[in-house]
Structure 1
Amino acid sequence: MKKKLKAAGENERACWPWSVLYVINCNILFYLSGFSLALCHFGWASELVCYFTNWSQYRPDVGKYMPENVDPHLCTHLIYAFSIINSTNELITSESNDETLYKSFNGLKEKYELLEAYEAENAATGRPRLMLTALVAAQKGTIDAGYEIAEIAKYLDFINVMTYDFHGSWENVTGHNSPLYLGSGYTGENIYNTDFAMKYWRDEGAPVEKLRMGFATYGRTFRLSSLSGPSGAGASANGSGSAGKYTREAGFWSYYEVCTFLQGTSVKWIEDQKFPYATKGYEWVGFDNKESFETKVNYLKEEKFGGAFVWALDLDDFTGQFCDQGKYPLIGHLSTLLNRGTSHILIKGIIVTEGEKNHALVNQNYDMNRL
């Protein structure tokens, strides 16, 4: 699949968010504009955006995740990650079977009975109303170097702040992937936590109703340096924990792999940062569970942020085989906590540039709330 894009500067007003973000980051930005499901929910208080990853199809056995595994009733929007914008501004696939997956993903709208509504809007307007959204950094240094927040916020329908990966096995002490607050024992700057990141985006000019807070359905692991010292956040560590059986990445476990690890050990709680962790031998994992999600949703509502997003669908216990909590225990609980009702679906696509996928990602989504 290949489609030519306008170069930056052509139709400047329509392309402004892309061209300005590209200039201020100087090198490459990573854009999403595409296969996204906008889900129309009736009676919901906050939006819940969920990401589908096209590389999760390669996981072995029950870890394999495909479009047919998606339960779109959990979320108000679904986003397919990733396709690519190449160096000549053409849209190309990132996986050899993306076109097949796109069709399956797109087929969800028929399965969940919004095809007639979609066709009616399309006939009336000539084309669907597109939403422009962004998946953006939560680290202050990247934010300061990469975004004119007040300006881009004018053009974006909502902004997904990646409030995770604050800590990981690249550090020499343990730390939670997505802490809500700064820990009392942490001696660094108060910038590597969800509370700081969300308020920084707000205070720099992003309207609170446009901000979506990130919720991670995975944990980051470490290998403790010693069994005799402290084992909480800030404990001495020497690299990553072992790779998960299904995700197969050192230092990273899906929630369902965390559940397997928890058999034979106990969950501990860091009160000032509001997160759980567990240890077994030299292995240490910080993760989120229903309790930490509830604390974060209470915070989100108190601060009046516009909603949440989840990275990612395939990392929750989507089969219900591992955690003894039913299918999608974390995302399902999050959906309930956000006080949302039933959903219907419409679909559009997704794209990113070649290279890394860890900076700003810009999305175009159909807005089903305009039907």
Structure 2
Amino acid sequence: MCIKSSHTSREESGDRGQHSVPAAIASGLAPTSHLPAHGIHGPSASSRNLTPLSPLPHHRAARHRDVVKETSGVDARRRRLQAAFTIDPRGLRRRRAVTRGKVTFCYYASWASGRPAGGSLSAADVDPAPCSHLVYAFAGVGADGLIQPPDDHGAGSYRKFTALARKHPNVTTLLAIGGRDHGTAAFSEMASTEEGRRRFADSVVVFLRRHGFQGLDVDWEYPTQRGGVPEDKANYVLLLRELRRRLHAEQLLLTTAVGAATSLVGTAYDVRAVAQSVDYISVMTFDYHTPSTHNVTGIHSPLSPLPSDVGDRSALNIRASIAAWVDGGAPRSKLLAGFPLHGRAFTLASAAARGLGAPAAGAGIAGPYTARPGYLGYYEICRKLKTEANWTKVYNNSTASLYVYKDDQWISFDDETTFTIKANYVLEEDLAGVMIWSIDTDDFIGTCSNRKNPLQKVIKETIGS
């Protein structure tokens, strides 16, 4: 059954536990695929000449923050749409005793500061209010096996970023290392020896202390994959253990981001050993379905499988990915579900077929700010829908997702309604919280609604971080 308005339709079918950390961390610091194809780093710089600074002030991670209230009109709209999804958030909360103090890891793509006016976001302008943790992406592993600093974009960007935690004591700032474009080879080589792992960990501590970061997020995409070697699986754990030893001794956090594909569990990751080595694990539950991986349209971050998903395709969704990590031995108290603030865009092969599974000729048209075919930031999508006529919007009940189409352009993305439903899933499963990629593509100006950063805020309001 479909419920349609002039430009909107809904389809019925178609598509935390205690863990061991240093006492100082346990008492104050809160213990993180498919990322977009970015891996932008600055010029290679050796960390050998860096000198450690004195320990940073101790910051407590966010637990209770003021909740931004919505207008009654937005609340009413969300209630109507949630009813259409036949999901009662109160019912979800009754299924499992929910642990409060959820966390929200907000990733910031540092290259966003270089986008055109109207779409750029500098580190100094990041709003930390919706987040318990802010993560600066990305540093790398240099040819010398030491940390390769991230691009500072000529403006002291990461110093401005870590200053946010001094201004907002309930926020913790971390540095992410790796990313999809960084690849596997440098990680593999560095992690292959005890000496390599030790030297790298030493360089990390020096860099974090010098610039005020309070932890490291390891984003190796992915051990054993994309030119990696079988030994990566064990060496990844050994690297995490060495980093944990050095970072926890300095009262710094260690987290990691992992691929969402269930095939990676057991192949690339020793799940139980990984979970024992880090404070949080971000499962990057998005980009399941993109123009570069499929020649038909599909939802890129579905909560559940589509009725048409059979065989391996039935695992291309958030529930399946999280279940694989839980079944593998990762405690829910360390797992973060990935929420994307971007959409995936397709160019249709024919305007006559525009539903889920419709043939696609390739990637959709690039946006004016992110400038990547097949990839649009939420702020680019919502501006299209606000300023251009004749877009049709389809909410899909079974996957808690939506897509829009116009002419030969087709876009899968999330909005406040689908994020509310997915955030309630996080409560239902009593996960540690949410990771957001990436905050620089939210509607941070407030062009499309009556408030800034609506997607980040609806997540915070729902999970109570």
Contact persistence 1:51–1:313 (CA under 8 A):
yes
Contact persistence 2:110–2:123 (CA under 8 A):
no
Distance 2:170 2:430 in 1: 30
Post-superposition offset of 1:99: 7.4
Distance 1:98 1:136 in 2: 30
Post-superposition offset of 1:188: 4.4
Post-superposition offset of 1:47: 0.6
Does residue 244 of structure 1 match 2:367?
A: yes
Distance 1:279 1:39 in 2: 41
Match for residue 335 of structure 1? 460
TM-score of the superposed pair, with normalisation by structure 2: 0.61
Aligned match for 1:42, one of 26, 41, 64: 64
Match for residue 440 of structure 2? 314
Aligned match for 1:213, one of 303, 327, 337: 337
Residue type at the aligned position of 2:46:
K
Post-superposition offset of 1:267: 1.8
Aligned match for 2:257, one of 125, 129, 135: 135
Aligned match for 2:297, one of 174, 179, 194: 174
Post-superposition offset of 1:145: 2.3
Does the C-alpha gap of structure 1 residues 325 and 287 become closer, same or farther in structure 2, counting only changes over 3 Å?
farther
Does residue 102 of structure 1 match 2:158?
A: yes
Backbone CA RMSD of aligned residues? 2.5
Cα offsets for 1:206-227 (capped at 9, x unmatched): 0011100000011000011112
Match for residue 279 of structure 1? 405
Post-superposition offset of 1:186: 2.8
Does the C-alpha gap of structure 1 residues 114 and 268 become closer, same or farther in structure 2, counting only changes over 3 Å?
closer
Distance 1:249 1:174 in 2: 18
Does residue 151 of structure 1 match 2:270?
A: no
Residue type at the aligned position of 1:211:
L
% same residue: 31
Q: Secondary structure at the match of 1:305?
A: coil
Does the C-alpha gap of structure 1 residues 177 and 98 become closer, same or farther in structure 2, counting only changes over 3 Å?
farther
Distance 1:218 1:114 in 2: 27
Match for residue 346 of structure 2? 222
Match for residue 353 of structure 1? none
Match for residue 326 of structure 1? 451
Does the C-alpha gap of structure 1 residues 211 and 4 become closer, same or farther in structure 2, counting only changes over 3 Å?
farther
Distance 1:156 1:99 in 2: 32
Post-superposition offset of 1:305: 1.0
Cα offsets for 1:274-293 (capped at 9, x unmatched): 10110010000010011111
Q: Which runs of 5+ in 1 are unaligned?
A: 6-36, 341-371
Does the C-alpha gap of structure 1 residues 157 and 96 become closer, same or farther in structure 2, counting only changes over 3 Å?
closer
Does residue 3 of structure 1 match 2:61?
A: no
Post-superposition offset of 1:42: 3.0
Post-superposition offset of 1:315: 0.8
Match for residue 253 of structure 1? 376
Post-superposition offset of 1:294: 1.0
Contact persistence 1:269–1:276 (CA under 8 A):
yes
Distance 2:257 2:103 in 1: 15
Match for residue 108 of structure 2? 52
**Greater displacement, 202-211 / 79-88:** 79-88
Post-superposition offset of 1:167: 0.5
Cα offsets for 1:131-173 (capped at 9, x unmatched): 2111000012333321100111111111000000100112111
Distance 2:413 2:261 in 1: 19
Post-superposition offset of 1:107: 1.6
Contact persistence 2:108–2:440 (CA under 8 A):
yes
Cα offsets for 1:32-51 (capped at 9, x unmatched): xxxxx973333763110100
Does the C-alpha gap of structure 1 residues 234 and 186 become closer, same or farther in structure 2, counting only changes over 3 Å?
farther
Post-superposition offset of 1:65: 1.2
Aligned match for 2:307, one of 178, 184, 188: 184
Cα offsets for 1:324-366 (capped at 9, x unmatched): 24110100111111113xxxxxxxxxxxxxxxxxxxxxxxxxx
1:190-201 map, 5 Å: 190-201=314-325
Does residue 162 of structure 1 match 2:184?
A: no
Does the C-alpha gap of structure 1 residues 38 and 251 become closer, same or farther in structure 2, counting only changes over 3 Å?
farther
Does residue 301 of structure 1 match 2:301?
A: no
Does residue 262 of structure 1 match 2:388?
A: no
Contact persistence 2:426–2:463 (CA under 8 A):
no
Q: Which runs of 5+ in 2 are unaligned?
A: 1-44, 50-58, 66-99, 172-208, 215-247
Residue type at the aligned position of 1:339:
G
Residue type at the aligned position of 1:192:
L
Cα offsets for 1:92-148 (capped at 9, x unmatched): 224253771111112213333579xx99x9xxxx97512211100001233332110
Contact persistence 1:38–1:76 (CA under 8 A):
no
Q: Secondary structure at the match of 1:49?
A: strand
Does the C-alpha gap of structure 1 residues 203 and 114 become closer, same or farther in structure 2, counting only changes over 3 Å?
closer
Q: Secondary structure at the match of 2:61?
A: strand
Q: Give the number of the structure whose alpha-carbon radius of gyration is greater.
A: 2
How many positions carry a matched residue from both structures? 300
Distance 1:188 1:127 in 2: 46
Residue type at the aligned position of 1:332:
K
Match for residue 356 of structure 1? none
Q: Secondary structure at the match of 1:107?
A: helix
Contact persistence 1:39–1:75 (CA under 8 A):
no
Distance 2:276 2:168 in 1: 33
Cα offsets for 1:188-207 (capped at 9, x unmatched): 42111111000000001100
Post-superposition offset of 1:73: 1.5
Contact persistence 1:93–1:99 (CA under 8 A):
no
Residue type at the aligned position of 1:313:
I
